[in-house]
Amino acid sequence: MGGVGGWWCEPANAPTHAVILHLHGGWFNWGTAEAFRHLVGHMARSAGVSAFVPDYRLAPEHPFPAATEDAEACYLGLLSAGRNAVAVTGDSAGGNLALVLLAAIATAPATFGHGPAAGVLVSPVTDLTLSGGSWETRAEADPFFVRDQALALVESYLQGADPADP
């Protein structure tokens, strides 16, 4: 969609004008549309609309702002395809991308032409500075994501861009 490949989840009898654009997680470095098809398929079926999960470009081969450019291209592609009710959703890093896309839509209506039908974020990555105290205070409770690992993934994605830049 919009020149970006991905995965469609299409429940039976879904209207043709409405769609979910779901941006998958993976710390901007891994994940595929196909890997997230079950999660998004459940969302699509529950909402009764089709959903598109783009295979946006990943770091380190494609650092910031490649993923945000792909999210914007998908949104515009959906509108060009006649999908005039687009819900923007995202989980984890995809939640970050969804927030960035929603902010871009809000600040540049002439570029995007049509606001989203909704925005939903699932556990979004919102602090790329990793300055929150919970990295230390909750470290034992969440051994899956450790600060050093997250920092390396964020640096791989940003490659010198300012992590505090919204």
CATH of the domain at 30: 3.40.50.1820
Residue 16 lies in a domain: yes
Using the structure block, give the residue that is written with the tokens 């209207």.
15
Residue 139 lies in a domain: no
Q: For residues 39 and 60, what is the distance between their CA atoms, to the nearest angstrom? A: 25
Residue 142 lies in a domain: no
Could you tell me the two tokens for 113?
A: 């032409």
SS3 136: helix
pLDDT bin (cut points 50, 70, 90) of residue 134 is: confident
pLDDT at 144: 76
Alpha helices in the chain (DSSP H): 37-47, 66-80, 93-107, 109-112, 134-137, 147-158
Q: How many domains does the chain have?
A: 1
What strands, in cross-sheet order, belong to the sheet with 6-9? 6-9, 50-54, 18-23, 85-91, 118-122
Residue 155 lies in a domain: no
Residue 151 lies in a domain: no
Q: What is the pLDDT of residues 54-104, one digit of tens each?
A: 999 999 999 999 999 999 999 999 999 999 999 999 999 999 999 999 999
Checking if the pLDDT of 154 tops 80, the result is: yes
Residue 110 lies in a domain: yes
> What residues make up the domain containing 50?
6-126
pLDDT bin (cut points 50, 70, 90) of residue 141 is: confident
Q: For residues 8 and 36, what is the distance between their CA atoms, to the nearest angstrom? A: 11
92 φ/ψ angles, rounded to the nearest 5 degrees: 55, -120
pLDDT at 36: 96
Which pTM does this prediction carry? Answer: 0.93
